[in-house]
Amino acid sequence: MNKLIIICCALVITSCKKQLPVIAPNVITEKIPHDSDDPAIWINKKDPSKSIVFGTDKDEVNGGVYAFDLNGKIIKEKSITNISYPNNVDIEYDFKLNDSTSIDILVFTEREKHQIRLFSVPDMKALDNGGFKVFEDETNEQMKRPMGIALYNDPESGVISAIISRKKGPKEGYLYQYEFISDSTGIRAKFLRKFGKFSGTKEIEAIAIDDKLGYVYYSDEAVGIRKYHANPKAGNDEIAIFGGNHFKDDIEGIAIATYENDKGYLIVSNQQNHSFNFFKRSDNTFIKSLNLGTLETDGCEVVTVNLNGKFKMGLFVAMNDEQNFKFYSLEALKME
């Protein structure tokens, strides 16, 4: 009997240790109509307080990419609707339309049309003539359905390209990369390469790119976070796979918090544990876990600049499985 009591007490203590304290969000957005999935943050460099958070709403008929102000209110005139299953979204700055003009851009995957979409920000004008088809060389229709997307701005050339994952794919060459080219005929997406290993279990959705250090990270959901060079010229060999032992089940969204001197963090959703794992940007070693009170988080995003009085050190945004997104100040996350 005494042994049984000791064992039960030990189990209770172990269980308590696993319960992380909940960090409450500063803002919870208005609800979107269907199924929230992935956020992106556009920094308004002229007035950071007017920056916009975009979030995808997955629906095959009337999906959308909704725009939110920093108070979590939907900005209807900046939102894009009537999209066929928009999955993931990303932002990049200073895309060169020509020698004298550059713009900020937003991209997202439109899964059921087997394409990606490209818009200017903040005026939200379509730049893609209806969309750019992806995975066109695949004969299996299921392998043409794009999911994750991340943009890479090459710091040396200024070339912007998109790296895309899909709902299903092979064990080699799961990801495709496309360069955006603007000339007198308009904008087109040029195929650059296919790369990236896959365990063959579950799927690959989340992708994040560290422009300055030149790395792309993606979640092979069942096994770990895979790391490659973002620049095709650096080769297609895998650099590392890490972190899998720190996750309960699905490894999901990835956000990269960047600071000076190459400091910073990878923040990765531990989906079924309803928490986030932090890894060092420099060497990808595990640091800590935080419970932000989100439910089944897919996508997340972070910026490390002062946006307003509420987000002085920056903003972390996490998808929440209640048709909304949650905003956190980086002070609350005990970032730098």
Q: What is the DSSP string of 73-133?
A: -B-GGG-EEEES-EEEEEEEEEEESSSS-EEEEEEEEEGGGTEEEEEEETT--B-STT-EE
- Residue 19: its pLDDT value, please? 76
Are the C-beta atoms of residues 192 and 210 closer than 8 Å to each other? no
Higher pLDDT, 5 or 166: 166
pLDDT digits (tens, 9 = 90+) for 268-306: 999 999 999 999 999 999 999 999 999 999 999 999 999
pLDDT digits (tens, 9 = 90+) for 162-204: 999 999 999 999 999 999 999 999 999 999 999 999 999 999 9
- Residue 18: its pLDDT value, please? 61
Looking at beta carbons, which pairs linking 245-249 to residues 24 or more positions away fall under 8 Å? 246/270, 246/277, 246/286, 246/289, 247/273, 247/277, 248/272, 248/273, 249/273
Domain 22-329 has CATH 2.160.10.10: no
- Residue 6: its pLDDT value, please? 41
32-43 mean pLDDT: 98
Which percentage of the chain shows pLDDT scores above 70?
94
The answer to whether residue 336 scores a pLDDT higher than 70 is no
Quote the pTM value.
0.94
- Residue 245: its pLDDT value, please? 97
SS3 319: strand
- Residue 235: its pLDDT value, please? 98
- The residues spanned by each domain of the chain are 22-329
Q: Where are the alpha helices (DSSP H) in 175-214?
A: none
